[in-house]
Chains A and B, each alone.
Chain A
Amino acid sequence: MLGKLSWAAIPLHQPIPLVASAVVIVGITAVLVLVIYKGWLPYLWREWITSVDHKRIGVMYIVLALIMLMRGFIDAMMMRTQLAVAAGSAQGYLPPEHYNQIFSAHGTIMIFMVGMTFMVGLMNFVVPLQIGARDVAFPVLNSVSFWLTAAGALLINLSLVVGEFARTGWLAYPPLSELAYSPGVGVDYYLWALQIAGVGSLLSGINLTTTILKLRTYGMGYARMPIFCWTALASNLLIIAAFPILTATLGMLLLDRYLGFHFFTNDFGGNAMMYINLIWAWGHPEVYILMLPAFGVFSAVISTFSSKPLFGYRSMIMATMSICMLSFMVWLHHFFTMGAGADVNGFFGIMTMIIAVPTGVKVFNWLFTLYGGRVRFETPLLWALGFMITFVIGGMTGVLLAIPPADFVLHNSLFLIAHFHNVIIGGVMFGAYAGYTFWFPKAFGFTLHERLGKAIFWCWLIGFYLAFMPLYILGLMGATRRMQHYSEMSWQPLMVVALVGAVIILLGIILTVVQLVVSIRARQSRKVGGDPWNGRTLEWSISSPPPSYNFIDLPQVSAPDSFWLTKQSDKPISDQHHDPDDVTPPTIPSPSAVGFVTAFFAVITGFALVWHIDWMAIMGLLCIVITWLVYAWRNSDDNEVSSQTIETFDASSAKSQTT
């Protein structure tokens, strides 16, 4: 009746997971009680949960990313504290089987639920505004994508309470992840959570690519698109090309585990190295799926706060698209030690060094944008400057690792860990924070607290260097990744320094919450108009927050940085309308619960599949199909925005901006 599920799945005898799950359950219950008690539920349901507005969905993505950042960071703190104490005869407080779950969950959460989610959130919010569109191409699908991502996140967190998580590392390499060596449900949680969230990512990639290629406003040719839209396009093309590989690969592992297939098993001719090739054929593009939108954020931030057009706009596009292509030709550098031979390793080593070239082009473009500009050192620019220095260091250690003989020495050492945290924190996280601070006033109509923002930046920057520079040295000293204990006492001082760095980053994360609370409480005095940063692109030409339909008239564009040029010429943007006869009243799609309901049943299906509860899985799938059929048979369509709504919005935003 309940498959493999029994009371043994609840971690009653393990104090740490028990406390952690109790905290999660109490937290979720407290939030639910508060929401119901305060009577916010109808509002949340109407305005957020069933919303298909790309701006709301973008905000929800970022909220999810911030929550998951905290979850992933708790894992990081546990690892760092464990390693600071578990030297020599001391064993620390985490047993190996628990420690293995923690580093697996940390990697999985940080990449899929924080990095991906944050970037998709930013793209969702910004891209339609920058290209002058009223929404994404498929708004309801957008809601489905978001809620499927949230469903994946929920399944990962569910594993904390019921059962266990994978102990196989964040990519679940076979044969360790095969049934023979991981008979528990941990790997199944991992696989189903990623399959569900992966479908969400794929649909979102299709949606945003279609939006960018087909819904640009009048006059917005490809060479007039803001760079953030270009990087978003490259990133979403990579999602379309790479995520199906992940789906197929995880699908094969699922067939191995559930139906006794032999894709990656040790016996019956399976080939585990095929998994590692396939997963990195997705995994390396994935790195750039995260990184490219961050490059776009920095381009927007640097040119805005230098009050200058981006230096080398066209070379930036070329660099972005060559990274997009080249990212599919370097995957083997993740496992030079496979034994592919000197020719193959040499090819991939050289390709890896070549991909550093367009990245270098970008760095020089940013530097020349700053050069001679009227630079304003506001928080988003600080993140961009911190990124440039940190990312260049990370890039150089990456090129070092691209040399196969050096990689043979450094493979799976803490040097590698330091390298990829260097580029992912220094690149993706800094980019996420820069974008968050930069576009926050656009989303909510008031700015984030400036001094706290700077404090957050310094915490992350100093904390990062303290936490990861020691790891480079430890890696050169021979410390390997994924170890729960070490006997070499001379490593301990550096491990303690790394812990101090992690604590400083923790302070930055706490301050992020404080900043949010302080800014929301002082929102009346922090109110800003449509263009708080003296921006350059179309999103700053409309009010903050924008109306649900974004633009009453679709703007006409004649150059990159069109809004900046309009401001220079003192001509209001709407006066340059393409064709006065062609004004169609804006339409917005009606809210839809399809996304939420689908994700609800996806969680049930995923949970049932993890525990082999067949009837429940079938029921869940059937319910998803019925949801879609009901939706397919709907009669209503998009709502035209009445002129009354527009007038009301104009009046209220005019009122709020004068007060």
Chain B
Amino acid sequence: MNTASAMLQPIQSDDIPLSERGPAPTRVVVAYGFWLFLLSDIIVFAALFAAYAVLVTRTVGGPSGSQLFNREHVFIETACLLASSFTCALSSLAIELHNKKYTYLFSALTFVLGIAFVALEFIEFTHMIVAGNGPTRSAFLSAFFALVGAHGIHVTLGLCWLVMMMAQVANFGFTARIARRLLCFSLFWHALDIVWIGVFTIVYLGAR
């Protein structure tokens, strides 16, 4: 805990239980609220996963997962996203140090890796749709495109957010408000990684 947020805390003694120490500092409140948002977002994915599990066998004469998915392609995709989470964490460290140069550098790397992920997914989708295996082909493919596509849209929105945040850093510097937003962004980015690990395991490795 840095000194700024420690100063916002009321005088604490150990005999006062945590729940009775009064309102939390803004940084905690914002991060907590964003965590709750992420949980709700993960429930959206849970519903999509459930739908996928129900519909995965409903290929209706169309191709199944194992006939469609190229594991090498998906492996590179996964590697990009996981690496982007690593660079995102490095940029969080740079933000903590208020180092603009490294913040830009690692955020740019995060952005490039994220774009690579989205591009690879786009290529995969296009190939499938051009071959007549789009979401309208079967209930299985509907569920596949909705689940993986929802994740892809999240990543795309995250990339837009990242660009905006870099503009804000350039504009405002590392003010408390910008720091809170950057914290929320990194939470978001890591949450997308967790969701992707579910997608990779259940959809791609679990394909039959």
Contact = CB atoms under 8 A, between A and B. Distances in A.
Interface of A: 133, 137-138, 202, 205-207, 209-210, 213-222, 224, 240-241, 243-245, 247-249, 251-252, 255-256, 259-263, 265, 268-271, 274, 278, 554, 578-579, 582, 629, 632-633, 637
Interface string B72-104: 000000000000000000000000000000000
B63 interface: no
Contact of A249 (B29, B32, B33, B47): B47
B41 A244 contact: yes
A245 B43 contact: yes
B146 interface: yes
Interface of B: 10-11, 17, 19-24, 28-29, 32-33, 36-37, 39-41, 43-44, 46-48, 50-51, 54-55, 58-60, 135-140, 142-143, 145-146, 164, 168, 171, 177, 181
B40 A269 contact: no
A269 B20 contact: no
Nearest to A248: B47
B51 A214 contact: no
Contacts, number: 141
A271 B136 contact: no
Contact of A213 (B32, B44, B47, B171): B32
A269 B138 contact: yes
B6 to A, nearest CB: 14
B40 A244 contact: yes
A133 B11 CA distance: 19
Q: Which 7 A-B pairs have the closest CB atoms?
A: A269-B58, A269-B139, A248-B47, A244-B43, A261-B142, A218-B22, A210-B33
10 contacts: A240-B43, A244-B47, A245-B44, A249-B47, A255-B135, A261-B136, A261-B142, A263-B139, A271-B54, A579-B10
Contact of B33 (A207, A224, A629): A207
Q: Which of B17, B32, B142 gathers the greatest number of chain A CB atoms within 10 Å?
A: B142
Contacts of A554: 22-23
A209 B36 contact: yes
A195 to B, nearest CB: 12
Nearest to A271: B54
Given A213-B32, A263-B142, A269-B140, A218 B10 contact: yes
Contact of A210 (B21, B32, B136): B32
B56 to A, nearest CB: 10
Nearest to B16: A219
Contacts of B46: 244-245
Nearest to B57: A269
B40 A137 contact: no
B55 A263 contact: yes
Contact of B47 (A138, A220, A245, A579): A245
Nearest to B42: A244
Given A138-B33, A214-B29, A274-B51, A629 B164 contact: yes
B116 to A, nearest CB: 24
B136 to A, nearest CB: 4
Is the contact region of chain B dominated by helix, strand, or loop, or is it mixed?
helix
Given A260-B136, A261-B136, A214 B17 contact: no
A239 B153 CA distance: 24
A270 B143 CA distance: 10
Contacts of B11: 579, 582
Contacts of A268: 58, 60, 136-139, 142
A133 B24 CA distance: 11
Contacts of A244: 40-41, 43-44, 46-47
Given A262-B139, A274-B54, A214 B32 contact: yes
Nearest to B19: A221
A421 B59 CA distance: 42
A245 B43 CA distance: 7
Contact of A240 (B21, B36, B58): B36
B12 to A, nearest CB: 11
A256 B136 CA distance: 9
Contacts of A247: 44
A269 B64 CA distance: 13
A389 to B, nearest CB: 37
Given A245-B46, A261-B146, A269-B139, 5 more contacts: A214-B23, A214-B24, A215-B23, A221-B17, A249-B47
A206 B36 contact: yes
Contacts of B17: 221
A632 B177 CA distance: 10
A633 B23 CA distance: 27
Contacts of A252: 48, 51, 146
A219 B138 CA distance: 58
A207 B37 CA distance: 9
A209 B33 CA distance: 8
Contacts of A243: 40
B19 A202 contact: no
A578 B60 contact: no
Contacts of B44: 244-245, 247-248, 251
A632 B184 CA distance: 14
Contact of A222 (B10, B19, B138, B145): B19
Contact of B135 (A138, A210, A216, A259): A259
Contacts of A241: 39-40, 43
A133 to B, nearest CB: 7
A527 B108 CA distance: 62
Nearest to B143: A263
Nearest to B54: A274
Contact of A578 (B10, B140, B142): B10
Contacts of B47: 244-245, 248-249, 278
A116 B132 CA distance: 44
A632 B164 contact: yes
B20 A219 contact: yes
A278 B50 contact: yes
